[in-house]
Amino acid sequence: MAFATARVAVACAPDAADIRADSVAPADPPDRTPPRLPDLLGSLQSAARRTGGAIARTRASLARRGLRHTLLRAAQELRGAKAIGKLKLAIPENHPFRPFAVPSADAPLASIVIPVHNHFPHTLACLRALAACGDTTPMEIIVVDDASSDDTALRLNGVQGLRVVTLKENRGFIAASNAGAAIAQGQYLVFLNNDTAVQPGWLDALIGTFEAYPSAGIVGAKLVYPDGRLQEAGAIVFSDGSGWNCGRFEDPRAPAWNFVREVDYCSGAALAIARELFAQLGGFDAHYTPAYYEDTDLAMQVRAYGLRVLYQPAAVVVHYEGVSSGTDEALGAKAYQRVNRRKFATRWAQALTAQPPPNADIRIASEHRAKQHVLVIDACTPRPDHDSGSLRMFEILKLLREEGCAVSFFADNRLHDGAYTQALQALGVQVWFKPWIGSRGAWFRMHGALFDVIIASRHEVAVHYLRLSRRHARGARFVFDTVDLHFLREAREAGIVRSPALARKAQRTRALELRLVRKADLTLVVSALERDLLLCDVPAARIEVLSNIHAPVAEPAGFAARQGLLFVGSFRHPPNVDAAIWMAREVMPLIHAQRPDIELHVVGPWPPREVQILDQLPGVRVHGHVPDLRPLLDGCRIGLAPLRYGAGVKGKINQSMARGQPVVATPQAIEGMGLTDGVDVLVGADAPAIAQAVLRLNADHDLWETLSGNGLIHSQRHFSHANARDGLRRILASR
C-alpha cells in the first residue's frame, strides 16, 4: 500500500468557464446590509427565471406522465424524505481536517478520478467517504485540481495515498476529467464528483458489473440525495435530445429502481468505464466544454461501439446536486446545459429517431429497448440452491433477460426473500414485493397493461391470475407453467400411502390443471410424456416443452477420485422424504451386507425429524442444506434417485449427470427423461434391485465411465441452455 502523494502539473490554455463540481459550500454569515435596487431587480429576475423553469418542468411532466403522476411527483418533492421512510446512509462527519490516508493499490483495478474546483470541504468529505467505504476492489484515487483558488492544493498534501493532478488554468469538468484519465493505471476508470459520499460496497458493485455483463460499456451508480430520496436511477434520452432522470425524488428502496437494467445514459457524477475503451473513444468530448451532455454523448458512443450502458442499483452514492453550478440554466456553468443539448441533438439526430418521444409514458420509455415485457409469477422467490423447480425458474428468468426481454417477477407470497431477491435483481429482473405490491387486483390494474407475456407457474398460483390477466392485461398472452403435473404426483402418492382422501384431492387438482390448460394461450410442461398426456385430455391445447436447464461440465472428476452415494432433494417435497427414508432404511442395509464401507450422503433443505434421525444409522450422513453442491457432486461416486412416486423431470438426476456423476434410479424417477437402462443410467424397481445396481456400478470402472460419458451427452442434448433457449424463443414468438 503506497501512501505518497503524487503530483502532476499540467499546463493548459486559459478558459473562463468554471468546472462543474456540483458541490455544496459552507453557508456564509448572514449579510444584514440593506438591499440596493439593482440587487432587488436581480433577485426578481432570478425568481422569475425559477418560476419559468418550474412552469416548464411542470409542462414537461404533464406531457410525459399525465396529471395524476405529475401531482404524485410534486407531492414527493414537497414532502421530503420523511414520508417515504429513511434510507440508511453513511455520511462523513464534518470535523476539522487532520491528515489521513485513502486506499492506494500498487496494481489498481479501478482508478477513481475526481475533478475539483474549490469547495474543499466537499472534496474532503468525498475522500473521507472513500477512505471509510471498505470496498475490496484494488483502487487508486486521482484528484484533478482545476486551478482552485481556495486552499484545496495545500490541504490535499495532507491526504496520504492520493494522486494529484494540478491544472495551471481553469479548464472545466471535461478537461479535468480527461487529465485524470490520462495518468490512470487501473483497468477501469470511475469518474466521481467531489460533492459525493460513496456508500460501502459501491465500487465492488460497479466493477463487478463488468464481469457479470461482458457487454457492459458503461456502468452507472444509484444517486441519492442526502435526505435519502432518490436522485437518479439511470436516465432516458428523448427524441428531441432532452433527458429525464429516472425515479427522481422517489423512494430508492422501491422495486422499480433496484434491478440492473440498460439505460440511455448514467450521470457522470458516478460512472465507470474501461480505461482502454475510454481512450479509444477519445475521452469526454471537448465539443461540450466546459460541461454538460458529455456523459450523455459518451453513452451514445459506447452504444454505437456495440456495448451497453447499465445502471447498477447496488452502487449507492450520495450526491449533493447542482450547488456550485446551480439549477438555473440561464446562469453560470449551468447555462451550458441548454447550449450543449442543441449540440447533442444535432450530432445524434439520426440515432435520436429511435428514442422515445418527449411525451412517452415514463414506465415504457425507461425500458424502450426491450423486445417484449414479460411478467413471471411463482409461489415464492426461487432459491436455486434449494430445489429443482427454483433452479429451473432462475435459469428461465436468466434466459429471458438474455433474449432482450424486460422481465418483472413477483412471488405470490409477495415477500422480499433477502439474497435470493437480490440475485434476481442482479440478473436484471424487476422484483416486486411488499409494501410496493399489496392486493393482486390493485397491482394488475396499475401495471397489467404493460406486459406482452404473463407466465404463471403452478396451478395453485396460476388460478389467481388468469382472470386478472384477461381483465387488466388484455394484450398479453397468458402462459400456464405446470412445473410438473401435480395431479399425477398426487395420484401416485395416494396409491403408495393408500389414501382415498389424497386420491380425491388428486382428482380436484386434475380438474383445475386441465381447466387452466384449456383457458391459457400456452401451457408449459417439462417432458414430452406430460405433453402427450395433456393432449389426450385437451387435444386443442397449445403445449411447449421447457424442461430443466443445466450446464454440463467439460472435464468431470473421475472414478478413482470419488466414493460414496449422494441423495439430494428438498424435503418440503413429500416424494423426497419418502425416498430418503426408504433408501436409508430399506436399501442401505442390503448394500452394507456386502460393502459396509459405502456411505450415503443425504442432502437437502428443511429435513423433517424422520429424515434427521437417519443420521443415527450406520453409514448414513444427513447434511441438511448445502448451498454449493459441487464438492458432493464431484466427490461422490454415484447419484441416487430412489423415488417411489412423483411427476415431472427430476432435477437431482439432471444435476448428477451434468457433473459426470452416474445415477441409479427407479423407473418412476427417470420417467419422461428419455434415459435407457444400462446405457445412460441403471434402473431398479425395488430395494434389492437398487442395492444390486449400486454395488455393480460402484465396482465396475468401465461401466461407470460409460454411464458418466453418456449422461453428459444426454444432458447437453436435452437439458442444456441452448435447448431451453430454442424453446423460449418459440414461446415468445407464439401468438
What does the radius of gyration of the chain's CA atoms come to, in whole angstroms? 31
Instruction: Supply the pLDDT for residue 247.
Output: 94
Instruction: Supply the pLDDT for residue 18.
Output: 32
Instruction: Supply the pLDDT for residue 326.
Output: 47
Instruction: Supply the pLDDT for residue 16.
Output: 30
Q: Does residue 539 have a cis bond before it (omega within 30 degrees)?
A: no
Tens digits of per-residue pLDDT, 34-68? 556 655 665 566 566 556 656 766 776 676 556 65
Instruction: Supply the pLDDT for residue 88.
Output: 79
Instruction: Supply the pLDDT for residue 116.
Output: 96
- Dihedral, CA of residue 435, residue 441, residue 446 and residue 448, to nearest 10: 120
Burial class (CB in 10 A: 0-12, 13-18, 19+), 528: middle
Residue 732, all three cell numbers:
415468445
Find the helix packing angle between 687-699 and 701-718, rounded to 10°.
110
Q: Domains of the chain: which residue ranges?
A: 6-10+87-365, 373-549, 565-719
Distance separating alpha carbons of residues 507 and 562, to the nearest angstrom: 44
Tens digits of per-residue pLDDT, 505-542? 999 999 999 999 999 999 999 999 999 999 999 999 99
Distance separating alpha carbons of residues 509 and 516, to the nearest angstrom: 11
Instruction: Using alpha carbons, select from 301, 401, 379, 358 the residue that is nearest to residue 732.
Output: 401
Q: What is the CATH number of domain 565-719?
A: 3.40.50.2000
Instruction: Supply the pLDDT for residue 432.
Output: 98
Instruction: Supply the pLDDT for residue 734.
Output: 84
- 373-549: in CATH 3.40.50.2000: yes
Q: With a cut of 70, which residues of the chain have pLDDT below it?
A: 1-54, 56-57, 60-61, 63-86, 322-334
pTM of the predicted model as reported, rounded to 2 decimal places: 0.86
Q: Are 230 and 250 in contact (CB under 8 A)?
A: yes
Instruction: Supply the pLDDT for residue 642.
Output: 98
Instruction: Supply the pLDDT for residue 168.
Output: 93
Torsion over CA: 341, 342, 343, 345 (sign)? positive
Same fold flag, 6-10+87-365 and 565-719:
no
Q: What is the CATH number of domain 6-10+87-365?
A: 3.90.550.10
